[in-house]
Amino acid sequence: MRKKERAVFVTDKLEELYPVVPVPLDHRDPFTLLVAVLLSAQCTDKRVNQVTPALFQLADNPQQMAKQSPIDIRAIIRPCGLSERKANNIRDLSRILIAQHGGLVPRNLENLEALPGVGHKTAQVVVAQAFGIPSFPVDTHIHRLANRWKLTRSKYVNGTEKDLKAIFPKEIWNKLHLQFIFFGREYCPARGHVPADCPICSVVAPVRAAKRG
């Protein structure tokens, strides 16, 4: 099976399994999404969704968040890990949004990536899920799937992102990124994965039995 054929099969199978894909992180608007994605670094979406109701009750917009003490923010987000750094970043980016962007979350990657604690992947998630701008955020999980499905040979996330953007139509990037995530969690985990039982690996990357004798 050639790379393009594998890509078509992957797209069709993911669409069959996940015709509708909700955004995993609970949010109300671009700002609360930005904060939730920042919190998700080295933390599960489930844990983030358990923490953010209390955080957004404290402050759910840049104006309110900018007034909070990092200590108070940290007390709420501690279960997410890296709480001291994340608390400082949330407070500081809120102040920058007010000072430089009129209190609004910017719609472009350059301005988003300039915010404290916001890397390339976080910025792409925000533009895709908050503003509907075509993007393909690639984390270590999507990187793993792309390599398993022989859609890339890159050892690095940035290379995988480039390869996936080249092979999949731009108009499906936003949905496809989420479909990758849901599929990986249900069928294609990092550990304990059985390729023969995987609806995609078993077809695009079958493991051949070793010859005897």
pLDDT in tens, 61-108: 999 999 999 999 999 999 999 999 999 999 999 999 999 999 999 999
CATH 1.10.1670.10 placement within the chain: 3-21+136-204
| Model confidence pLDDT, tens digit, residues 143-166 | 999 999 999 999 999 999 999 999
- Does residue 198 surpass a pLDDT of 60? yes
What percent of the chain stands above pLDDT 70?
Answer: 97
Rounded to the nearest integer, the mean pLDDT of the chain is: 93
Q: One of 60, 86, 121, 163 is an active-site residue; which one?
A: 121
Q: One of 60, 86, 139, 163 is an active-site residue; which one?
A: 139
- Does residue 193 surpass a pLDDT of 80? yes
The DSSP string of the chain is --HHHHHHHHHHHHHHH-SS---SS--SSHHHHHHHHHHTTTS-HHHHHHHHHHHHHH--SHHHHTTS-HHHHHHHHGGGS-HHHHHHHHHHHHHHHHHHHTTS--SSHHHHHTSTT--HHHHHHHHHHHH--------HHHHHHHHHTTS---SSHHHHHHHHHHHS-GGGHHHHHHHHHHHHHHT--SSS--GGG-TTHHHHSPPPPPPP-
Q: Which residues, at least 6 apart from 94, have a Cβ–Cβ distance to it below 8 Å?
A: 59, 62, 63, 65, 66
Q: Of 105, 96, 98, give the one whose Cα is nearest residue 133.
A: 105
Instruction: State which CATH number among 3.90.1580.10, 3.30.70.2500, 1.10.1670.10, 3.40.50.300 fits the domain covering 3-21+136-204.
Output: 1.10.1670.10
pTM attached to this predicted model: 0.88
pLDDT at 207: 64
Structure-token pair, residue 39 = 């919190």
pLDDT at 210: 36
| Residue 163 is a catalytic residue | no
pLDDT band of residue 190 (cuts 50, 70, 90) is confident
CATH topology of domain 30-131: Endonuclease III; domain 1 (1.10.340)
What would the mean pLDDT of 47-59 be, rounded to a whole number?
Answer: 97
Q: Which residues, at least 6 apart from 80, have a Cβ–Cβ distance to it below 8 Å?
A: 39, 40, 43, 47, 48, 51, 86
What would the mean pLDDT of 19-33 be, rounded to a whole number?
Answer: 95
pLDDT at 162: 96
What percent of the chain stands above pLDDT 90?
Answer: 88
| Model confidence pLDDT, tens digit, residues 173-188 | 999 999 999 999 999 9
